Amino acid sequence: MEAIILLGGPGAGKGTLAEDLKQQTAYIHVSTGDMLRAALKSGSPVGLEAKACMEAGELVPDSVILRIIEERIAKESAAARFMFDGFPRTIDQALGLDQLLKKYSGVIAHVFNLEVQRKVLLRRLTGRRVCKTCGAVYHMITRPPEKEGVCDSDGGELYQRADDSEATILNRLEVYEKQTAPLISYYQRQGLIRDIAAGGHADATTALVLDVLNA
């Protein structure tokens, strides 16, 4: 097993980058945020456990996250290549991932650190809209759909994520700084961090990441 990790604050563009890489590489996209939203929608026990944390912009307990990650890894063959989007988000999750890598004979190839100024993150998150059907991400100002409120690719209804409200966004940024940003030095010590300037257009970010993957 091989893994790459997309690391960055809320609004850094992890999901959009992952969509692009899915088209252009063989990596399997694993987004804990998407998995939790799906669990919530289906009313499963994991969804119920995660609901309150997600709505408040807090992190879901590490044990829950590590359980769903292991279940996901176990479904694929030993040769699978994973792209983790929004995981790990705490040092304990990173330690848990290290254990899983040992168990499943895996290595981390790169940790892409998406660097975006805080004011850009705020602007992106407040304008973000997502397709209810396919999850495609739009922005009211920088990436509007052709027809307001409707997804260009499948006509699905666009909605604003419950945790993209102004108060929750501020909390998520704080949670990122406190609990997730320490992962940068954790992976720096292992020589795995690839800093990516991600404050511009999504295509530019994807190109920088592909340069590293193809080097």
The kind and range of the H/E element at 127 are: helix 118-127
- Each residue 73-92 as x (binds ligand AMP by CB under 6 A) or -, in order, gives -------------xx-x---
- Residue 187, interface with ligand AMP (CB under 6 A)? no
Residue among 12, 64, 6, 18 at smallest CA distance from 194:
6
- Residue 66, interface with ligand AMP (CB under 6 A)? no
At its nearest, how many Å lie between ligand AMP and the CB of residue 69? Answer: 8
Quick check: is 124 catalytic?
A: no
Other C-beta atoms closer than 10 Å to the C-beta of 36 total 22
Quick check: is 89 catalytic?
A: yes
- Each residue 26-45 as x (binds ligand AMP by CB under 6 A) or -, in order, gives ------xx--x---------
Please report how many Cα atoms fall inside a 13 Å half-sphere around the Cα of residue 113, on the Cβ side.
17
- Each residue 90-119 as x (binds ligand AMP by CB under 6 A) or -, in order, gives ---x--------------------------
At its nearest, how many Å lie between ligand AMP and the CB of residue 72? Answer: 12
Q: Distance between CA atoms of 145 and 137, rounded to whole angstroms?
A: 10
The kind and range of the H/E element at 192 are: none
Residue with tokens 């850009």: 120
At its nearest, how many Å lie between ligand AMP and the CB of residue 91? Answer: 12
Active-site residue, from 37, 129, 172, 194: 172
Longest dimension (CA), the chain: 48
The kind and range of the H/E element at 139 are: strand 137-139
Residues 6+ apart with CB under 8 A from 206: 17, 20, 21, 24
Which residue of this chain has its Cβ atom nearest to ligand AMP in the complex?
Answer: 33
Scanning 53-61, 124-132, 185-193, 201-209 for contacts with ligand AMP by CB under 6 A, the matching segment is 53-61
Q: Interface residues with ligand AMP (CB under 6 A)?
A: 10, 32-33, 36, 53-54, 57-60, 65, 86-87, 89, 93, 163, 172
